[in-house]
């Protein structure tokens, strides 16, 4: 009898072992999906160090570059991300991930066409609408819009993938590593774009096409990587069904999701605090990233290549620190406190950019401030994204992530437009940097509110993730 029970227990334990219980498989999934986001982040900023070259070679002005940069978020703001969340919870991570990766490749192709087509600025049908904007900028913006839909959908899909494969395990560490790998794409863009531009110069004019083509090709590799992931994820779901282990985090929950379930998200006070904190914080990071190279050029009176060389170090500390901070949250907690500290650091850095650096134009000071801003960029995201599964039901987690990204995209769409207009109106960067610092102040206040609400309701944002 005892032996039969032991055999039965052994068989049950064996049946309950699935692919996600294998550390090798879990971390392989992380590498596959994180590499896709690395290529996406690289593509996002591949033209950022070349802003002045776009103005010189393609007759863009400062406002055109801001409008083009805003294009990445335009369709998301007008509802695509909300639809993406419903698709994600209804169709599952495999379908949504392949769709998002495909959209990124299509958008990249259109953007490449616009930038590489010399006649784009003089084509009549392109100039028939919005005549003040060059045709190349219009096509690049349109491609960026398509790419942006795929990129933001991919970001939310990856978050749900990691929540599925790492729940109850090293979830914050996995999300931290994914963010670190993705941010390495920013470093790669800032480093490689000027280098490739100079290497493939034609008749003494640096190339815009070469860096863009390279980044576009990498997106195709990212799509292939996701195909490999879908095979692993399908195997996992099949194991769960075969072993009669139908858990929320394991199996595609398309049969359980209903659009009416979204009311769980909209009625959550904590959701709105995190969503608003997210949009304010990232509005002071990503739009700044678009203009940072040009800001350093003008403030320090240095070349485009030197400016890009300084700013390329921005994601490095974030890349190094984020996984360690994720591991700390997994084992020790303090997620809400980290968000608060990250907001304080961001305020200080943008104040230095606004007031101190113009008065004392030092490359050393600029580099130190850029690195410290990278610390903030590790503290807030490393603690924010693993906090969402603690406040939102698994069934609507994909929609929750997409709604947060939607709110974020409203800011990321409008802020580059605002900064571009302020640069033209004030002929400088003082006012834009003050605006970025102001976003930090508001993010700090929301971080305080988040910590207070967590203490009152006990969501566990300050508690460890590891069970």
For residue range 6-17, list pLDDT tens digits in order.
Answer: 444 444 444 457
Q: Tell me the per-residue pLDDT of 369-424, one tens digit each, with 9 for 90 and over.
A: 999 998 998 888 888 888 888 888 877 888 888 888 888 878 887 898 899 889 88
Asked if 164 and 249 count as a contact pair (C-beta separation under 8 A), the reply is yes
Q: Where are the beta strands (DSSP E) in 49-138?
A: none
Q: What angle do CA 86, 88, 94 make, to 5 degrees?
A: 155
What are the boundaries of each domain within the chain?
Answer: 23-457
Q: What does the DSSP 8-state code read for residue 77?
A: I
Q: What is the pLDDT confidence band of residue 467, given thresholds at 50, 70 and 90? A: low
Quote the pLDDT of residue 319: 77
Asked if 377 and 285 count as a contact pair (C-beta separation under 8 A), the reply is yes
> How far is Cα 386 from Cα 175, in angstroms, rounded to an integer?
7
Phi/psi of residue 172, nearest 5 degrees: -65, -40
Please compute the mean of the pLDDT values over residues 243-254 and round it to a whole number. 46
In the CATH hierarchy, which top-level class contains the domain 23-457? mainly alpha
Q: What angle do CA 159, 163, 169 make, to 5 degrees?
A: 135
Label residue 333 left, alpha or beta by phi (over 0 means left) and psi (-120 to 50 means alpha): left
Among the ranges given (127-131, 283-287, 337-341), the one the predictor scored with the smallest mean pLDDT? 127-131
**Residue-wise over 353-363: b if at least 16 C-beta within 10 A, else e?**
bbeebbeeeee
Q: Tell me the per-residue pLDDT of 413-463, one tens digit each, with 9 for 90 and over.
A: 789 889 988 988 998 899 999 999 999 999 999 999 999 999 998 888 898
Q: What is the pLDDT confidence band of residue 358, given thresholds at 50, 70 and 90? A: very high
SS3 category, 202: strand
Quote the pLDDT of residue 129: 66
Asked if 301 and 361 count as a contact pair (C-beta separation under 8 A), the reply is yes
> How far is Cα 320 from Cα 68, in angstroms, rounded to an integer?
31
Q: Tell me the per-residue pLDDT of 192-241, one tens digit each, with 9 for 90 and over.
A: 998 999 999 888 788 899 999 999 999 999 999 999 999 999 988 887 77
> How far is Cα 79 from Cα 74, in angstroms, rounded to an integer?
9
Is the Cα torsion angle 137, 142, 147, 153 positive or negative in sign? positive
CA dihedral 281, 283, 284, 290 (to 10 degrees): 140
Distances (CA, A) of 321 to 143, 177, 376, 383: 33, 9, 10, 12
Asked if 270 and 458 count as a contact pair (C-beta separation under 8 A), the reply is no
> How far is Cα 437 from Cα 431, in angstroms, rounded to an integer?
10
> How far is Cα 419 from Cα 428, in angstroms, rounded to an integer?
10
Asked if 19 and 232 count as a contact pair (C-beta separation under 8 A), the reply is yes
Percentage of the chain surpassing pLDDT 70? Answer: 90
Q: pTM for this one?
A: 0.74
Asked if 437 and 350 count as a contact pair (C-beta separation under 8 A), the reply is yes
Quote the pLDDT of residue 7: 42
Is pLDDT of 84 > 70? Answer: yes
pLDDT: which is higher, 107 or 265: 107
Asked if 420 and 71 count as a contact pair (C-beta separation under 8 A), the reply is no
Mean pLDDT of the chain, nearest integer: 85
Quote the pLDDT of residue 27: 92
> How far is Cα 399 from Cα 292, in angstroms, rounded to an integer?
32
**Contacts with 65 (C-beta within 8 Å, 6 or more apart), sequence order:** 51, 54, 55, 137, 290, 420
């Amino acid at each position: 009898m005892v032996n039969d029970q032991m055999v039965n227990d052994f068989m049950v334990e064996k049946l309950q072992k699935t692919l996600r219980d294998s550390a090798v498989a879990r971390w392989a999934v992380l590498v596959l999906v994180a590499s896709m986001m690395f290529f996406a982040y690289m593509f996002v900023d591949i033209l950022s160090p070349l802003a002045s070259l776009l103005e010189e070679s393609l007759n863009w002005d400062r406002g055109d570059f801001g409008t083009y940069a805003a294009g990445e978020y335009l369709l998301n703001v007008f509802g695509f991300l909300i639809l993406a969340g419903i698709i994600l919870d209804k169709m599952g991570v495999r379908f949504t991930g392949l769709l998002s990766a495909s959209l990124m490749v299509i958008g990249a192709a259109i953007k490449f066409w616009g930038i590489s087509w010399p006649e784009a600025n003089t084509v009549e049908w392109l100039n028939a609408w919005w005549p003040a904007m060059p045709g190349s900028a219009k096509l690049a913006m349109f491609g960026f819009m398509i790419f942006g839909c795929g990129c933001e959908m991919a970001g939310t899909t990856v978050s749900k993938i990691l929540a599925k494969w790492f729940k109850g395990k090293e979830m914050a560490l996995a999300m931290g590593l994914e963010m670190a790998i993705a941010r390495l794409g920013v470093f790669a863009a800032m480093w490689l774009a000027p280098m490739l531009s100079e290497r493939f110069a034609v008749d003494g004019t640096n190339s815009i096409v070469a860096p863009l083509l390279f980044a576009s090709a990498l997106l195709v590799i990212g799509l292939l990587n996701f195909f490999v992931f879908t095979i692993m994820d399908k195997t996992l779901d099949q194991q769960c069904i075969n072993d009669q282990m139908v858990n929320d985090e394991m199996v595609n929950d398309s049969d359980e999701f209903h659009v009416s379930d979204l009311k769980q998200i909209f009625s959550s006070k904590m959701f709105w605090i995190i969503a608003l904190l997210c949009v304010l914080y990232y509005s002071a990071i990503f739009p700044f990233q678009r203009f940072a190279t040009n800001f350093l050029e003008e403030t320090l009176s240095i070349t485009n290549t030197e400016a890009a060389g300084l700013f390329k170090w921005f994601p490095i500390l974030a890349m190094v620190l984020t996984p360690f901070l994720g591991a700390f949250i997994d084992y020790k907690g303090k997620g809400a406190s980290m968000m608060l500290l990250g907001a304080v650091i961001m305020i200080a850095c943008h104040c230095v950019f606004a007031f101190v650096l113009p008065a004392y134009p030092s490359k050393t000071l600029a580099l130190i401030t850029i690195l410290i801003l990278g610390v903030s960029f590790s503290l807030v995201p490393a603690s924010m994204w693993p906090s969402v599964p603690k406040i939102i039901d698994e069934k609507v987690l994909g929609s929750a992530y997409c709604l947060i990204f939607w709110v974020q995209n409203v800011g990321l769409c409008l802020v580059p437009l605002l900064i571009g207009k302020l640069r033209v109106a004030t002929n400088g960067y003082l006012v834009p940097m003050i605006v970025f610092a102001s976003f930090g102040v508001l993010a700090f206040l929301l971080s305080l509110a988040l910590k207070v609400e967590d203490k009152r309701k006990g969501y566990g944002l300050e508690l460890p993730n590891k069970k």
